Amino acid sequence: MSEADSQPVKKDPFLALRYKDFRSYLGMRFFFTFAYQMQTTVLGFYIYTITHSKVAIAFIGLSEAIPAVGIALYGGYIADKYEKRKMLLLIYIGVLLSSLVIFTVTLKSMSGYIHIGWIVPIMYAMIFCNGVARAFYGPATFTIYAHSVPREVYPNASTWSSTSWQIASILGPMVAGFTYAFGDKMIAGISGMTATFSIILLSLLIALLLVYQLRKYPAVFIPKENIWKSLSAGLNFVFTNKMMLYAMSLDLFSVFFGGAVALLPVFALDILKVGPEGLGIMRMASSLGAAITMIVMVRFSPMDKPWRNLLIAVAGFGCCIIGFGLSTSFYITLLFLFGQGAFDAVSVIIRGTLIQLLTPDEMRGRVSAVSSMFIGSSNEIGDFESGIAAKLLNTVPAVLFGGSMTLLIVTFTYFKTKNLLPLSLNDIHVVKEEDQDNV
């Protein structure tokens, strides 16, 4: 047991921030998320502006989800097997280079050196490369986070980690929307797209530099069998743990059907007619609701009865999606997006804490890889579903269908997991010792 693990845990809302490596982890994750959210916001709007196609929006999510899901298990295997700091350096360099390609293509298209017909395929290719990076990024950061604080501090650390992510998710879309709209007015001769990607590249560079502040994290897993048996061990662990499996599945299907973020450019341009500035504010509203909720949860933890609270949070998320779809007012839309983010924040903290507590150290990379297949890529797969559904059903019916399906999924999960409802955080060790359930 390390010295950190032996320290008594105090009732201190800032406890996790007292660990140096955790502070470094928060910093690099903040700037990476800020850049990622800016890029996601501006690419969705830019591609829809060029194509006016909902299917084109759908393929943004699919381009990233295919590699992120397809090689996620291998990414988890590598994260368990190799040193994590070096992995993150390579990942961040790769993402920085792909964003630099998009930046260059944008400049060249303005000068007439690249035909506009090539822009979208090149952007899809770079998004695909980001998906490859994500397959390795999730398992590596999951392991670093897990070892940056003692296990007793996980609930507090999870709140701070999620809060940092949400604050970056607030600022990223807001800065992207306003920079895209006013970039050419703020800096003569510079387009909004160019100005936005200048900030994205700077943020990624800062994140890369912050990775150097981390200590090295050597492998804690030395495989004694071939790669397929190692990967199967990670899958078997998840699929034989009822609480972990249902937590991941609940997120996957609720976000798959209920995620409406991909359609925000359509609402901004065609329904609410608020332009890129309104798009940035709408993207910000959901993250603002999440961030405020997470700050509150630093003091008031949702982990007294985690499974009960998780089901309530996902049901609230589904209701807000339905309200968002029905709204014709920009301000009421912001209110529902705020509520969507608030409910999602509760579920994120609960799921994150449960997965950390239920996972043994030697399997963190592989379990994180399985988690990324369920949770990490559910947003992108959900974006694809939303775009296709909007094409087939029209935009508003597609959103209402998604919210209704989310409520049905919560109802189904409730009846399948009634025995988990009364469990407190102190009872989680009982769940770890359960035999395989017939799920």
What is the spatial distance between Cα 112 and Cα 260, in angstroms, rounded to a whole number?
Answer: 35
pLDDT number for residue 311: 92
pLDDT the model gives residue 231: 63
Whole-number pLDDT of residue 339: 93
Predicted confidence at residue 230, as pLDDT, reads: 63
**Report field, pTM of the whole predicted structure over 0.85:** no
Give the three-class secondary structure for 177.
Answer: helix
pLDDT of residue 344: 86
Task: Tell me the DSSP string of 356-420.
Answer: HHHS-GGGHHHHHHHHIIIIITHHHHHHHHHHHHHHHH-HHHHHHHHHHHHHHHHHHHHHH-GGG
Distance (Å) of CA 124 to CA 40, 61, 71, 91, 104: 12, 9, 18, 18, 15
State the pLDDT at residue 299.
Answer: 75
Query: What's the pLDDT at 126?
Result: 92
Q: What is the pLDDT of residue 276?
A: 79
- List, run by run, the mean pLDDT of 10-residue segments along the chain (439 residues): 44 79 89 90 84 81 79 75 84 92 80 71 90 83 80 78 80 84 57 85 92 77 60 73 80 76 83 84 83 79 83 92 91 93 86 77 68 64 76 86 90 87 66 43
Cα 316 from chain centroid (whole Å): 19
Any idea what the Cα angle at residue 364 is, between residues 360 and 370, rounded to 5°?
Answer: 120
pLDDT of the residue at 153: 82
The per-residue pLDDT for 8 is: 46
Which CATH homologous superfamily contains domain 18-215+225-432?
MFS general substrate transporter like domains (1.20.1250.20)
Residue 35 is predicted with a pLDDT of 93
Q: How far apart are CA 229 and CA 437, in angstroms?
A: 22
- Cα separation of 138 and 244, whole Å? 17
